[in-house]
Chain A
């Protein structure tokens, strides 16, 4: 009888221990932020923290921001499930589009050669179902004789054609019209970042441009992916004269 009681007591002890240990996971969906005074520092703490949660531990003068469980940005998946593992992310939805300020003049266009340039942008998104980056701007324009002319841009991927009015981009590594561009670079590695160039913009030596097109994407949270955009300009002898300007507006949208 004493042995049975002892076992019951131990079992109850184990169960309560398991319950306490699993509580953060169970309670994580009820997490609420509260503002706590930490001496002279105001910091936000979460009343409970689940995997991926952030805890701010404060003393009189300092607050420590630590990740617990770390939702992370690596993932593994099966047909039905996706799990995340990794290091150093926040528990908040987050998206960042890094586009170094760049102004490039490709010079005087002529119908006997192709002018080109490249630019880069980077995207990362956490706690997202993914992100898309779309072209937000129209093709290059110039005001000629009071008329705004948009450079023609192929709506389907096409090879660079000298002598034909054509503006296009891709996010691939190219050899024509020159060795330009690069495949998306995953930082720090493809174990943590998953951005890809979208269909239509991911084939070497084929270019297109359409406002509203998705040019890059990730179907899950992702660390930095750096994309290199290659721009090509061809004109025909009848392309209206003028000073063509193109501000490539990129719109990154995270889905949560």
Chain B
């Protein structure tokens, strides 16, 4: 009896085992038929910005297709409550990117163009099929990122959970096969899922103040006029006691120094008087104050003027200073009293140089004068102002 029971039991196990073994072998075959799409490999979608709600964003889709001939593809995007699994339920709320205004360029297929496009989806069709099996790139421009508020699992205060998903499906024909929706993808050739995430922004601000340091000095000032600045008191004349006469053109020098961050440059102007005696006699501006200088000053012909030399590094700093043409001369001078912006007290001052942003701009100003035989005796003085105006 026991033997009979054992034999029956053994046979039962035997048939059960055979049955299960059969199921074990057949099952893969049965399941294979239900999901025959290959997976695109080495896939990613890179956004040009992950900022939530950003517009004009570029999505660069990179993937390696299986090599099976395809001519159209669909990109679906599902919100943070969905998954990237092709064919699974896909919620396309506002928490997905918007492709309504997107444009496309691609290395994949020939003349890949956008078909239907909108919130969470863009369909693309090539003019010819592709059997590429190497890495391909599709660039989607002018995409709008989902906002934080629209992403249901996105925590606005911490920026956590702002993930959403992309899915790609390729099709052999140009009309997306039997694709119906993100959860009914039809006879896709290749599929793949992506995860993407938006994030909040780290914003840092800082302020740089407008700066302009300017000085006039008898000696060449140091960088930023911090040292080397002496009173710009000049004496024109020769002999003892020092005096002007008709035998020579006498000169003396002063400097201006400038440091600025004015990216619209600094204009340096000069305005003041010609040499004037207490009794109001004057030594006139060179060439009657003409505006087309520079002009020569000839000993014995009363004249007053100023020039900046022409040698960079010697007459003015190697960088930052450009003398105005009528004051740029190795030997000749100007003192404009006729232009609208002349260097008399009534004008705004005559431009003598332009300074670009520099830490150590300087120029040497050569003042010169001579007296005529008829020039009245007296102590002549001139008072000049240097004006620096920065444009920021």
A residues near B, CB below 8 A? 2, 5-6, 8-10, 12-13, 15-17, 19-20, 23, 26-27, 30-33, 35, 42, 44, 47-48, 92-110, 115, 117, 119, 121, 125, 128-129, 136-137, 140, 142, 144-145, 147, 149, 229, 231, 233, 235-256
User: Given known contacts A96-B163, A237-B224, is B10 in contact with A254 (CB within 8 Å)?
Assistant: no
Contact B44 A99 (CB under 8 A): no
B292 lies within 8 A of chain A by Cβ: no
Besides the contacts A30-B28, A96-B160, A102-B200, what 19 more A-B pairs have beta carbons closer than 8 Å? A6-B6, A9-B13, A13-B13, A97-B162, A97-B199, A99-B159, A102-B203, A109-B206, A115-B206, A136-B50, A144-B392, A235-B208, A236-B359, A239-B261, A240-B262, A247-B201, A251-B50, A253-B44, A256-B195
CB distance from A135 to the nearest CB of B (A): 11
Contact of A27 among B31, B47, B357 (CB under 8 A): B31
> Per-residue 0/1 for B198-224: is the Cβ within 8 Å of any A Cβ (1 yes, 0 no)?
111111111111110000000000001
Closest CB in chain B relative to A147 CB, distance in Å: 6
**Of the candidates A44, A240, A247, which one forms a contact with B202 in the assembled complex, judged by CB atoms under 8 Å apart?**
A247
Inter-chain contacts of B51 with A (CB < 8 A): 247, 249
28 A-B pairs with CB atoms under 8 Å apart are: A13-B16, A17-B20, A20-B20, A30-B31, A33-B83, A92-B84, A93-B194, A96-B197, A97-B162, A97-B199, A99-B159, A99-B200, A105-B204, A105-B206, A108-B208, A137-B49, A145-B391, A229-B202, A237-B211, A238-B261, A240-B263, A240-B357, A242-B208, A247-B201, A248-B202, A252-B197, A253-B46, A256-B194
Give complex CA distance A97, B51 in Å. 11
CA distance in complex: A63, B83 (Å) = 17
Q: What number of residue pairs across chains A and B have CB atoms under 8 A from each other?
A: 252
Q: Across the interface, which residues of B come within 8 angstroms of A44, CB to CB?
A: 83, 88-89
| A-B residue pairs, 5 tightest by C-beta | A19-B24, A33-B88, A238-B357, A145-B264, A12-B17
Give complex CA distance A242, B261 in Å.
Answer: 10
Q: Look across to chain B and name the residue whose beta carbon is closest to the beta carbon of A93.
A: B195
Best-buried of B28, B48, B159, B262 by chain A (most CB within 10 Å): B159
CB distance from A75 to the nearest CB of B (A): 18
B207 touches A253 (CB 8 A): no
- Please tell me which one of the listed residues B28, B47, B206, B358 contacts residue A140 in the complex, with CB atoms under 8 A apart: B206
For residue B112, give the distance in angstroms from its CB to the closest CB of chain A: 22
Could you tell me if A15 and B21 are in contact, using CB atoms closer than 8 angstroms?
yes
Compute how far the CA of A88 lies from the CA of B196 in the bound complex, rounded to whole angstroms. Answer: 20
Nearest Cβ in chain A — how far from B33, in angstroms? 9
Cα(A104)–Cα(B205), bound, Å: 6
Q: Is the CB of B199 within 8 A of A243?
A: no
* Residue-wise interface mask of B (253-295) relative to A, using a CB-CB cutoff of 8 A (1 in contact, 0 not): 0000001111110000000000000000000000000000000
List of B residues within 8 angstroms of A255 by Cβ: 42-44
Interface residue? B310 (CB, 8 A): no
Task: Report the separation of the CA atoms of residues A103 and B197 in the bound assembly, to the nearest whole angstrom.
Answer: 21
Residue of A nearest to B163 (CB): A96
Complex contact B35–A30 (CB within 8 A): yes
B261 to chain A, nearest CB (A): 5
Whether B158 sits at the interface, judged by CB under 8 Å, is: yes
B369-388 at interface with A (beta carbon < 8 Å): none
**With known contacts A33-B85, A237-B359, A251-B47, A101–B157 Cβ distance under 8 A:** yes
How far in angstroms is the closest Cβ of chain A from B6? 8
Q: Please tell me which one of the listed residues A6, A48, A144, A253 contacts residue B10 in the complex, with CB atoms under 8 A apart.
A: A6
Contact with A along B137-158 (1 / 0, CB 8 A): 0000000000000000000111
B240 on interface, CB distance cutoff 8 Å: no
Q: Please tell me if B173 contacts chain A, counting CB pairs below 8 Å.
A: no
Q: Smallest CB–CB gap between A126 and chain B, Å?
A: 8
B233 an interface residue at 8 Å Cβ cutoff? Answer: no
Are A100 and B157 closer than 8 Å at their CB atoms? yes
Task: Name the contact of B207 in the complex, choosing from A2, A109, A117 (C-beta under 8 A).
Answer: A109
Contact (A32, B357) CB under 8 Å given A109-B207, A145-B264:
no
